[in-house]
Structure 1
Amino acid sequence: MNYLLKQFIPPIFRTLYWYSFKYGWKGDYENFAEANKIAKGYDEQSIVEKIRETTRKVVNGEVAYERDGIVYDNPKMNFAMLSTLLHVAAENNCNLTVLDFGGSLGTTYNHKKLFLKSVHNLNWCIVEQPNYVEIGRKEFEHDRLHFYYSLEECLQHHQPDIIIFSGVIQYIEKTYELLDQIRMSGVKYLYIDYIAFNDEDRDRIAIQHVPPEFYGTPASYTCWFYSKPKFYSYMKQHFNLMYDFIADPDKYYIQLKPFFYEGQLWKLKSN
């Protein structure tokens, strides 16, 4: 009976329920500290263990792909990212060093590695929270995949050609301070995708409520909805915009206000 009832509910109502009334993005907080009193965070041990389990299945060849604790048999290819990585590698005589900020236990690396086999010297460096780094170093690290606690630690061992923020940057509290560190590091390219913007002239802080289908338990994260003019104004002071794009054609909602996930490739300006 529930199945039959669902067939009569227009898709828009199911979407609004999913992204506005039960899960999805809610709130307008003064600062991260206020929101963090409510949000649980990505480093919850149950979430870490779920991702550890699904990553192990990918590495063992039991499943094709995992992201956020969900396994996929037929993952979609992120062609914008793949073409960018191959372009950067071609500029560097088929050598490539990637700094994957917030790269979990190797989600993006495992997805792209088959398409990067032609890269002669590949170093994929992940900067993550301590519990992810500890598991990554113990169970998943090898000669091409490395885990670090911070940007500074990674730069002590590698000089990245490109830094990737894939669905990550909006969860970083001091975003602009980190971007300052990145531009001062001299890394040439900065690739950002799955970033959401506020349609106002201010940055908005919200909480993303994640359904249990992802981790086996409900989760919640504090996140930014950046003012697009402010974000682009900062970036264009220091980087040239190579291209931007819609990262996901699906429309999402923050309390009935629609938004799309977007992305950009930036190139550091020469001094």
Structure 2
Amino acid sequence: MTRIKSLLKSVTPTFVLDARAQRNFFAKPGWYATHLGAFNSFGEANEYIKKYSIPAGFKLNHDEWLKERMKLSSHDYPVLFWLYNILNSKNLTTIFDFGGSVGVSYYAFSKYFTFSSNLLWTVCELPEVVDSGNRIKEHLDGEHLFFTTDQQLMQKADIFYTSGAIHYIEEKLHELLEKYNARPEYIIVNKIPLSPASEFVTIESGGGSGYYPCKIERESSFIASMKKIGYDEQDRWKCVEHKMNVILHPELSFTSFRGFVFKKVTVAKHD
């Protein structure tokens, strides 16, 4: 049967296969992310979504996402390692968690080490997610958690942390940090899709609800942009549980997302 399917696929015109792939993609969003197309901007991707009479947007069941994230994936352990060492060896007490849902990383990591009494873990999210985070916090041990919609609070952070979120905004990370004049000591980025060669916007479907743009940066450009604003790379890893298969553009696909730790460069003072 597999051989027959392969044969049929080989003789079927590409435009027919592409049309079928698009119909399947827009039929119903699944829980795990899938991607379609390559675009020049978020606006262009949103216009493409509207062609299918589907409102562009994303709505995640954060209660279910919290349950999913309580079990660490392999790409979470480098973050756990770095946070443990930074928080225990440096006088750093404030974490700004950009796009951190209802505090999923905080709750997941708190099972593995005890946070200091003066730690402040701030999650920056959309208003409805902040409401959910505060509701869940009442029933779980979230004494160090604070939820906000104010991105400007990243100015006060010792550690800027983001996991699987930064590619859903059009601004690049260095642009976001410069916009608010934020200079944290450490920047930890996890689950970021970076291409070895190309830069583009694609449409993602995932989380069981919605279709929305996400940006794919070139890996070398991303690292160079962090260096340009004064950060040296300390570590990197592969997030092998996440890959980018781009429907209609298989040449843009890659096998894993990435994770990084950057440290602010200290400029030596001269007498």
TM range (shorter): 0.7 to 0.9
Question: Judging changes above 3 Å, is the alpha-carbon distance between structure 1 residues 75 and 83 closer, same or farther for their aligned structure 2 residues?
Answer: closer
Among 144, 157, 182, the alignment partner of 1:160 is 157
RMSD: 3.0
State the shift of 1:133 in Å: 1.5
Match of 2:43 in 1: 33
C-alpha separation between the residues in 1 aligned to 2:196 and 2:117? 43
1:25, 1:206 within 8 Å by CA — same for their partners in 2?
yes
**In the alignment, what sits opposite 1:244?**
236
Shift in CA distance, 132/76, structure 1 to aligned 2, threshold 3 Å: same
* Residue in 2 that maps onto 1:61: none
Using CA pairs under 8 Å that are at least 6 residues apart, name the structure with larger relative contact order, 1 or 2: 2
Picking from 259, 266, 269, the partner of 2:265 is: 269
Residue deviations 1:194-216 (CA, integer Å, cap 9, x gap)? 1112333x520111122xxx43x
Superposed, 1:90-169 pairs within 5 Å as 90-93=88-91, 96-140=93-137, 142-153=142-153, 155=155, 159-169=156-166
TM-score by length of 2: 0.73
Structure 1 residue runs of 5 or longer lacking an equivalent are 59-64
TM-score by length of 1: 0.73
- Distance verdict in 2 for CA 1:206–1:247, change over 3 Å: same
Q: Check 1:91–1:248 CA distance in 2 against 1; reply closer, same or farther (3 A cut).
A: same
Q: Quick check: 2:93–2:120 contact (8 Å CA) kept in 1? A: yes
Structure 1 residues 269 and 223 mapped into 2: Cα distance closer, same or farther (>3 Å)? same
* Superposed displacement of residue 179, structure 1: 3.1
Q: Radius of gyration: which is bigger?
A: 2
**Identity across the alignment (%):** 23
Distance 1:245 1:154, change over 3 A: closer
In the alignment, is residue 253 of structure 1 matched against residue 264 of structure 2? no
Contact 1:88/1:161, CA 8 A, preserved across alignment: no
Match 1:191 to one of 171, 188, 192: 188
- Check the 8 A contact 1:196/1:260 in 2, yes or no: yes
Q: 1:138 to 1:227 in 2, by over 3 A?
A: same
Gaps of 5+ in 2: 10-16, 26-33, 50-54
How many residue pairs end up in the alignment?
Answer: 229
More strand by share: 1
74-83 vs 238-247, greater mean Cα deviation: 74-83
Query: For residues 251 and 36 of structure 1, what CA distance do their matches in structure 2 show?
Result: 22
- CA distance 1:153–1:252, change in 2 (3 Å): closer
Runs of 4+ in 1 over 6 A off after TM superposition: none
Q: CA deviation at 1:177?
A: 2.0
Distance 2:153 2:225 in 1: 25
